[in-house]
């Protein structure tokens, strides 16, 4: 069943920044959100090398980042996070963001092994979230969707269990 939101509800939910939605969702589950501003210096440098923090815009549309990156962590209590626990969190977060009016093309989950994490101060990384920029309101009204760049989509680390099996259309060959 596809959830259809009223256009006004969708517009209001889209005006809430994605990182704030994620942070509230994580707070209920006793998980920790590390936004770009709270990254350790080594992690910021790695993200810049991966070109996650490229900027675009200008005088008319405003200077902004193309992509944002955040890290979901848990307090390190010596217990390992199982694969099924991680996949359940990813599935629940995906469903939550979709119900908040976001499209699955706007965000992506990356494995924490993508970066070399040295010191996180008693935090155990679970996964990264990469999402497309929150466009200024005028641009959002005029353009509609924001999607991740294709270069990121090809280079991502996927949790294949979360892929939704879409019915494949048979290739029609004309003779």
Least confident of 57-71, 135-149, 158-172: 158-172
pLDDT tens-digit map of 31-84: 999 887 887 777 777 777 765 655 555 555 444 556 778 888 888 888 888 889
Nearest to 162 by CA among 71, 82, 93, 74: 93
For residue 151, the SS3 value is helix
Task: Compare 169 and 154 and report the one with higher pLDDT.
Answer: 169
pLDDT tens-digit map of 83-140: 899 999 999 999 998 888 888 888 888 887 777 776 677 888 888 888 876 655 555 5
Tell me the C-alpha distance between 12 and 72, whole Å: 25
- pLDDT at position 63 is 46
pLDDT at residue 175 above 50?
Answer: no
pLDDT at residue 144 above 60?
Answer: no
- pLDDT at position 147 is 53
pLDDT at residue 163 above 60?
Answer: no
- pLDDT at position 121 is 75
Tell me the C-alpha distance between 165 and 95, whole Å: 16
Task: Compare 67 and 19 and report the one with higher pLDDT.
Answer: 19
For residue 12, the SS3 value is helix
Nearest to 73 by CA among 114, 131, 23, 133: 23
Tell me the C-alpha distance between 47 and 71, whole Å: 12
Tell me the C-alpha distance between 133 and 65, whole Å: 6
Residues 6+ apart with CB under 8 A from 158: none
Task: Compare 58 and 6 and report the one with higher pLDDT.
Answer: 6
Q: Are 38 and 55 in contact (CB under 8 A)?
A: no
The sheet with strand 107-110 has its strands ordered as 32-34, 67-75, 123-132, 107-110
- pLDDT at position 153 is 47
Q: What is the pTM of this model?
A: 0.66
pLDDT class of 157 with cuts at 50, 70, 90: very low
Instruction: Please report where in the chains the tokens 């009016």 appear, as a residue.
Output: 101
How many Å from the N-terminal Cα to the C-terminal Cα in the chain? 38
């Amino acid at each position: 069943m596809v959830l259809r939101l009223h256009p006004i509800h969708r517009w209001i939910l889209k005006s809430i920044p994605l990182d704030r939605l994620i942070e509230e969702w994580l707070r209920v589950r006793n998980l920790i959100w590390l936004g770009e501003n709270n990254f350790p210096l080594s992690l910021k440098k790695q993200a810049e090398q991966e070109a996650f923090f490229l900027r675009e815009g200008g005088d008319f549309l405003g200077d902004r980042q193309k992509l944002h990156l955040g890290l979901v962590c848990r307090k390190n209590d010596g217990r390992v996070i199982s694969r099924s626990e991680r996949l359940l969190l990813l599935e629940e977060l995906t469903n939550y963001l979709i119900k908040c009016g976001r499209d699955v093309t706007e965000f992506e989950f990356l494995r924490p092994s993508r970066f070399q994490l040295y010191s996180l101060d008693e935090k155990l990384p679970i996964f990264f979230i990469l999402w497309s920029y929150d466009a200024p309101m005028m641009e959002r009204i005029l353009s509609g969707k924001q999607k991740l760049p294709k270069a990121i989509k090809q280079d991502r680390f996927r949790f294949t269990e979360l892929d939704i099996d879409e019915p494949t259309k048979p290739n029609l060959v004309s003779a």
